[in-house]
Amino acid sequence: MSKDKAQGIARGLTNYGDAAFSKYLRRSFASSMGYSREMLDRPIVGIAHAASGFNNCHRHFPEMIEAVKRGVLAAGALPLEFPTISLGEVFLSPTSLKFRNLMSMDVEEMVRAQPMDSVVLLGGCDKTVPAQLMGAMSANLPAVQLVAGPMSTGRHKEHRLGACTDCRRFWQQFRSGQIDQEEIDTVERKLASTAGTCAVMGTASTMASLTEAMGMMPAHSAAIPAVSADRLRMAEETGRLAVELIGTERRPRAILTQKALENAVTVLLALGGSTNAVLHLAAIAGRVGLPLDLRRLNEISERTPVLVDLKPTGEHYMEDLHYAGGIPAVMRELRDILHLDAPTVTGETIGARIEAADPWVDRNVISPASEPVRETGGLVALYGNLAPKGAILKRSAANPDLFETEARAVVFSSLEDLAARIDDPDLDVTADDILLLRNAGPTSPSAMPEAGYLPIPKKLARQGVSDMIRISDARMSGTAYGTIVLHVSPDAASGGTIGLVRNGDRIRMSVATRSLELLVSDAELETRRAEAPPVKPEPKRGYDWLYDRHILQAEDGCDFDFLVERD
């Protein structure tokens, strides 16, 4: 810590013109919290946390905050925690993504407005870490991320259970009649049984891993289980680190360089991580003026093997990844294709981190690059007249037999239409069709929910059909799997081609050529466009109004246009 550069409680003090009076007044109010003068003269580490009664994943935050404080105090600074908006993934309507930018604004503004010399960002559930990083990139005060850590798995009969890939597996069994109501009720109680984030390589685990890979957290801090004593020790270490950062130039923008971003993309592809991470990385990078080009993602995907065997695409859980060697072990396998000179918040380069990590690794969970789980990366971007600005396919979670397909489209015009008709026994659909959902993108009133995992129509599920090509402008949960094309851009509500598809049109998807084509002539599409321009309600006030006017498309990470860094 460079104490002479710390501003402590006086940071930002201009309120009353008279600086000495302002300091005296602020200190007197701070004294009412019982701090001694010695404490108030220390540098201040803010702890921006997202604890909430509506966020099960963060229920252990009080204990983690105590541990961070311990580290801060021991290193000679004063810790002051403050709450921000929290986004509990399953408790928000219409979808948590709608509020990620709002949380990022809360973090940015409170970090800037309140007197602190550095900040620990404590989050975990899907959208919270991206929101905190977006805010921290914009505020650019020295910052370090701390995450909740993954939930531990539970048991049901002979099955190991982890939210929420197994949630879907058992629900599919229930829908197809393989298990009964009583059993699904039992499973429901067992799926999520500890504090922490979803136990598989879903969005929360992916974002935690990428935050470590981009250098914004200490080594190993992504995967330590939420309930482990090591998680508390990591919290304490993070508090100490936040003090060390004070007065240095090790700020978020010095950490998130183009190289760090590419390292994060490489790790994403090697993990077979969540499709949502593509949105979040684009949004975080957009805050420092870095582009996340999906064509570049495709290039990196060709040279990056999938190395970990975690659900939803494999067998294991996030806690297993930790005990197998964690993110440092994954990055060691990737060292030939990583930027080893990328900096980290702990001061060493990524290369030095890899060298320092224990070389032991559990090969059941983390494969060597020479014998990967898959030869190429987990995600690819598809382009074509159906997705001029791109779409994402998690090929590691998809059925390769469907990669080169031309088939008939069965169209659902909205979430309501999908809910009303998908299980209709009279629905004209076969296992060879492509299911298409639209008006579920970022500019739609539903604000891009995780509806892209369209259910298999019940009558087909009962015949044993477990996968079909599904295409939408929506997202899907990082814990889901299937041959599912997401984030089709531009979305239907903003006038994208996906809004013009009709039942029975032919669609051609080719993973080999990265293409997604609607086999309808341009002239016919123009006629359809003129006949039915998109209509959507215009919000009159409040956050809906702000969102509607400023939301960007998927390729820009669905940030607000006024929050993106401009030259």
Which two tokens mark 34? 């019982």
Out of ligand FES, Mg ion, none, what residue 477 binds, judged by CB under 5 to 8 A for its kind, is Mg ion
Candidate segments 174-182, 198-206, 290-298, 507-515, binder of ligand FES by CB under 6 A: 198-206
- Nearer to Mg ion by Cβ, of 111 and 318: the residue is 318
Q: For helices 181-190 and 165-175, give the axis angle rounded to 10 degrees.
A: 170
Out of ligand FES, Mg ion, none, what residue 559 binds, judged by CB under 5 to 8 A for its kind, is none
Three-state SS at 389? strand
263 counts as binding Mg ion under rule CB under 5 A: no
CB of 96 to ligand FES, least distance (A): 9
In sign, the C-alpha dihedral spanning 32, 34, 36, 42 is negative
Out of ligand FES, Mg ion, none, what residue 92 binds, judged by CB under 5 to 8 A for its kind, is none
525 counts as binding ligand FES under rule CB under 6 A: no
Bridge partner residues of 434 (DSSP): 409, 469
**Separation of CA 191 from chain center:** 21
CA–CA dist 41, 8 (Å, integer): 7
Three-state SS at 440? coil
Three-state SS at 92? coil
Which two tokens mark 86? 């929290």
CB of 134 to Mg ion, least distance (A): 18
User: Tokens 């946390």 identify what position?
Assistant: 49
566 by Cβ neighbours in 10 Å (0-12 / 13-18 / 19+) ranks as exposed
Bridge partner residues of 394 (DSSP): 379
CB of 269 to Mg ion, least distance (A): 19
Residues 461-480 binding ligand FES (CB under 6 A) are none
Q: For helices 97-113 and 276-286, give the axis angle rounded to 10 degrees.
A: 30
- Nearer to ligand FES by Cβ, of 194 and 489: the residue is 194
In sign, the C-alpha dihedral spanning 87, 93, 96, 98 is negative
- Nearer to ligand FES by Cβ, of 361 and 447: the residue is 447
CB of 308 to ligand FES, least distance (A): 18
- Per the CB < 8 A criterion, the answer to whether 343 and 255 are in contact is yes
CB of 198 to ligand FES, least distance (A): 3
Residue from the set 125, 379, 454, 516 that interacts with ligand FES by CB under 6 A: 125
Out of Mg ion, ligand FES, none, what residue 184 binds, judged by CB under 5 to 8 A for its kind, is none
CB of 458 to Mg ion, least distance (A): 24
CB of 419 to ligand FES, least distance (A): 22
203 counts as binding Mg ion under rule CB under 5 A: yes
Return the closest-CA partner of residue 151 out of 186, 201, 189.
201
CB of 123 to ligand FES, least distance (A): 10
559 counts as binding Mg ion under rule CB under 5 A: no
166 counts as binding ligand FES under rule CB under 6 A: no
- State the alpha helices, DSSP H only, in 160-317: 165-175, 181-190, 203-213, 229-244, 252-255, 258-271, 276-286, 294-303
CA–CA dist 487, 553 (Å, integer): 9
- Kindly state the number of chain residues that form the binding site for ligand FES, as judged by CB under 6 A: 9
CB of 198 to Mg ion, least distance (A): 6
Out of ligand FES, Mg ion, none, what residue 90 binds, judged by CB under 5 to 8 A for its kind, is ligand FES
Residues 7-66 binding ligand FES (CB under 6 A) are 57
| Per-residue contact string for residues 178-197; x = within reach of ligand FES by CB under 6 A | -------------------x
Three-state SS at 220? coil
User: Tokens 């959507």 identify what position?
Assistant: 536
- Nearer to ligand FES by Cβ, of 61 and 560: the residue is 61
User: Tokens 């020295």 identify what position?
Assistant: 142
89 counts as binding ligand FES under rule CB under 6 A: yes
In the complex, which residues of this chain contact ligand FES (CB under 6 A)? 57, 89-90, 125-126, 197-198, 202, 204
Residue numbers of the site for Mg ion (CB under 5 A)?
Answer: 126, 202-203, 477-478
